[in-house]
Amino acid sequence: MTQYLADTTRHPHTSDQPAATADWWRDAVIYQVYPRSFADGNGDGMGDLPGIRERLPYLRDLGVDAVWLSPFYASPQADAGYDVADYRAVDPMFGTLHDADGLIRDAHRLGLRIIVDLVPNHTSDQHEWFKQAVSEGPGSPLRQRYHFRPGKGAGGELPPNDWESVFGGPAWTRAADGEWYLHLFAPEQPDLNWEHPAVQDEFRSILRFWLDMGVDGFRIDVAHGLVKADGLPDIGAHEQLKLLGNDVLPFFDQDGVHEIYRSWRRILDEYSPSHSPNLRPGALPGARIAVAEAWTPTVERTANYVRSDELHQAFNFQYLATRWDAAELRAVIDRSLDAMRPVAAPTTWVLSNHDVVRHATRLSSDGKTYDVRRARAASLLMLALPGSAYVYQGEELGLPEVTDLPDELRQDPAFFRAAGQDGFRDGCRVPIPWTSEGPSHGFGSGGSWLPQPESWARLSVAEQTGDPASTLELYRAALRLRRELPGLGAGESVRWEDAPEGVLSFLRPGFVCTVNTTSEPVTLPVPGALSLASSAVEITATGVVVPADTTVWWAV
Ligand code: GLC
Tens-digit pLDDT profile for residues 246-289? 777 999 999 999 999 999 999 999 999 765 555 677 889 899 99
Number of Cβ within 10 Å of residue 252's Cβ equals: 25
Helix (H, G, I), strand (E, B), or coil: what is residue 174?
strand
Query: How remote is the C-alpha of 84 from its chain's centroid?
Result: 18
- Helical ranges in 434-524 per DSSP H: 461-464, 471-484
List, for residues 97-116, the tens digit of each pLDDT value: 999 999 999 999 999 999 99
Mutate to test the pocket of ligand 1, among 33, 77, 79, 424 (most ligand atoms within 8 A of CB): 79
Residue 54 is among the residues annotated as catalytic for this protein: no
* pTM score, whole prediction: 0.95
Nearby residues of 359 by Cβ (< 8 Å), 6 or more positions away: 351, 352, 375, 378, 379, 395
Cα of 82 from ligand 1 centre, angstroms: 6
Q: In the chain, what's the furthest Cα-to-Cα distance?
A: 83
Is the per-residue pLDDT at 373 higher than 80?
Answer: yes
How many angstroms separate the alpha carbon of residue 116 from the centre of ligand 1?
A: 14
Residues 357-380 have a mean pLDDT of 97
Q: Phi and psi at residue 421, in whole multiples of 5°? A: -110, 160
3-state secondary structure of 159: coil
pLDDT (tens digit per residue) in 167-226: 889 999 999 999 999 999 999 999 999 999 999 999 999 999 999 999 999 999 999 999
Read off the pLDDT band of 13 (50, 70, 90). Answer: very low
The pLDDT value recorded for residue 142 is 97
Tell me what pLDDT residue 397 has: 98
Nearest atom in ligand 1 to the alpha carbon of residue 185 is: 6
Q: Which of 537, 508, 506 lies closest to 523 in space, CA to CA?
A: 537
Phi-psi region of 120 (alpha: psi -120 to 50; beta: other; left: phi over 0): alpha
> CB within 8 A of 541, min separation 6: which ones?
none
Three-state DSSP class for 243?
A: helix
119 alpha carbon – ligand 1 mean position (Å): 9
pLDDT the model gives residue 11: 34
pLDDT value for 14: 35
Pocket of ligand 1 contains residue 82 by CB under 6 Å: yes
Indicate whether residue 414 lines ligand 1 (CB < 6 A): no
Q: DSSP per residue over 31-85, as a string?
A: EEE-GGGT--SSSSSS--HHHHHHTHHHHHHHT-SEEEEPP-EE---TTTTSS-S
Strand pairing class (544-546; 73-74):
unpaired
Task: Identify the pLDDT of residue 277.
Answer: 59
What is residue 518's predicted lDDT score, i.e. its pLDDT? 98
Strand partners, 149: 180
Q: Tell me what pLDDT residue 141 has.
A: 97
Q: What is the dihedral of CA 199, 204, 209, 211, to 10 degrees?
A: 150
Active site residue 454: no
- Averaged pLDDT, 18-23: 64
pLDDT at 336 (0 to 100): 97
pLDDT in tens, 432-453: 999 999 989 999 999 999 999 9
Q: Residue 183: which residues within 8 A CB-CB, separation 6 or more?
A: 122, 165, 171, 172, 173, 189, 190, 191
For residue range 52-78, list pLDDT tens digits in order.
Answer: 999 999 999 999 999 999 999 999 999
Alpha-carbon distance of 511 to 154, in angstroms, equals: 69
**Cα–Cα distance, 445 to 438 (Å, whole number):** 8
Please give the span between the terminal C-alpha atoms of the chain, in angstroms, as a whole number: 20
For 492-542, write each residue's pLDDT tens digit. Answer: 899 999 999 999 999 988 899 999 999 999 999 999 999 999 999 999 999
Q: What pLDDT score does 489 carry?
A: 87
For 383-425, what is each residue's pLDDT tens digit? 999 999 999 999 999 999 999 998 889 888 888 776 545 558 9
Q: Is the CB of 221 under 6 A from ligand 1?
A: yes
Q: Where are the alpha helices (DSSP H) in 383-430?
A: 413-417
